[in-house]
Amino acid sequence: MASLSEEEQQARETIRYLVAASRSVPGGALASAREDWRAQLAWWGSQGYHGVTLPPEWGGQGKSFLVQTMVVEALAEADANLALLYEVHNTLHLEAVWRYGDEAQRRRWLPDLLAGRRLGGFAVTEEEAGSDAESLATVAVPEGGGYRLSGVKRMITGAGWYDQYVVFARVPEAGITAFVVEADTPGVGFGSPEPMLGLDSTPVADITFEGAWIPEDHRLGELGQGYAIALDLLDGGRVGIAAQAVGILAACLGRSLAFAQQRRQFGRPIARYQGIQWMLAEMATDFAAARLLTYEAARRRPEGERQRPLYAMAKWFASRKAVQHALNAIQIHGGRGYLRKTGVEHLLRDSKVTELYEGTSEILRLVIASRLLNGYNWDSI
């Protein structure tokens, strides 16, 4: 795996500088008020960091997907809530409009999405359709130059918080199709946010569609193309969640290293004890491996479906190691690590969900194994 180019290194330094600068913006330091996240994401839009992969003539920076991945990583090291909200807006929603929207749709939605004036979510999960996305029950029945949308999406990140959503529904006799649905559309409703183990500043709730009428010009891509669109976007999403896990790993390592050198027991810093050193060494090695794998997956994102096993590998490995070393970070901090006020235990609570959303660890292993058994060139990684 190649090291960062000079341009990529400069981009990473700029991003880390911006993360530090953003702490003066409302929501910049582990805020709990969800309104603050809107201010944060609007600020990142003002800095040009929404849609960084889009060409400059469309308002982007023309950067690689790796640069966008590094933004997610840096944000997650500071706060995984903000990293997730940024990742969904960019990797799943904004990319959907850019990749599958026609010119009129791009001109309608991209300026506000790029500026952060409007924020976009992604709604595919249902009661019986999570990993099995082909089993969607939400329907979009053609009617009067548009579609009547009926059904329920479950546990949607940012439900009731984002301004618009990419929604997947089944069109009779055509198949799964993607739509952009604005939050204030009549017939669209939102449940109460679910209390969660971690990411407790991120709203997650159900979205209900009770005969919501969606105009034809809100359909993304072709009729029946929705399943392929969802899989393509989730490939990028898996790299984004891998980056979130890498950011959490960075926080585990940074906090553990600093604490181990400061905390003294029996007359010397606990970092001088072999048991602590071994945990730090393993944490640093797994962090480096997860970051390299995630960066490589981000670089190969333009190859699309062909590298789907690599995207799965990055998310599976990084998320697994984030959970493991969040536990180790608590152990290194001892009793203090168990206290909420020290801000270490939330790394464990925030890390666990990276093994669950956008492909559970079990599903990812099936993706990897099935491709290996069907001729995927693992030696090309």
Mind listing the pLDDT tens digit for each residue in 118-161? 999 999 999 988 777 778 999 999 999 999 999 999 999 999 99
Check pLDDT > 60 for residue 281: yes
pLDDT, tens digit, 9 for 90 and up, residues 318-346: 999 999 999 999 999 999 999 999 889 99
Q: pTM of the entire structure?
A: 0.95
The secondary structure of the chain in percent helix, strand, coil, rounded to multiples of 5, reads 60, 15, 25
Percentage of the chain surpassing pLDDT 90? 87
pLDDT, tens digit, 9 for 90 and up, residues 252-277: 999 999 999 999 999 999 999 999 99
Query: What is residue 3's predicted lDDT score, i.e. its pLDDT?
Result: 76
Question: CA nearest 301: which of 315, 287, 290?
Answer: 315
- 142 phi and psi, to 5 degrees? -55, 135
Check pLDDT > 80 for residue 2: no
Cβ density class 200-218: b for 16+ within 10 Å, e for less: ebbbbbbbbbeebebeeeb
Distance CA 220, CA 222 (A): 7
What's the angle, vertex CA 178, arms to CA 176 and CA 182, rounded to 5?
140
Check pLDDT > 90 for residue 311: yes
Distance CA 161, CA 90 (A): 15
Domains of the chain: 6-119 (1.10.540.10), 121-226 (2.40.110.10), 227-380 (1.20.140.10)
- Distance, CA of 12 to chain centre: 18
Query: What is residue 379's predicted lDDT score, i.e. its pLDDT?
Result: 81
Distance CA 276, CA 263 (A): 12
Tokens of 113: 């999405």
Query: What is residue 35's predicted lDDT score, i.e. its pLDDT?
Result: 60
Query: What is residue 380's predicted lDDT score, i.e. its pLDDT?
Result: 77
Rounded mean pLDDT, 344-361: 95
Query: What is residue 201's predicted lDDT score, i.e. its pLDDT?
Result: 86
Q: Which residues are catalytic?
A: 358
Cβ–Cβ < 8 Å for 247, 83: yes
Element (H or E) spanning 219, and its range? strand 219-220
Check pLDDT > 90 for residue 286: yes
Distance CA 91, CA 239 (A): 9
Check pLDDT > 60 for residue 196: yes
Cβ–Cβ < 8 Å for 260, 344: no
Check pLDDT > 50 for residue 31: no
Check pLDDT > 70 for residue 103: yes
What is residue 207's three-state secondary structure? strand
Check pLDDT > 50 for residue 29: no
Q: How many CB atoms lie within 10 A of CB 33?
A: 11
Rounded mean pLDDT, 205-214: 98
Higher pLDDT: 334 or 376? It is 334
Check pLDDT > 60 for residue 33: no
Check pLDDT > 50 for residue 32: no
Check pLDDT > 50 for residue 30: no
Rounded mean pLDDT, 300-310: 94
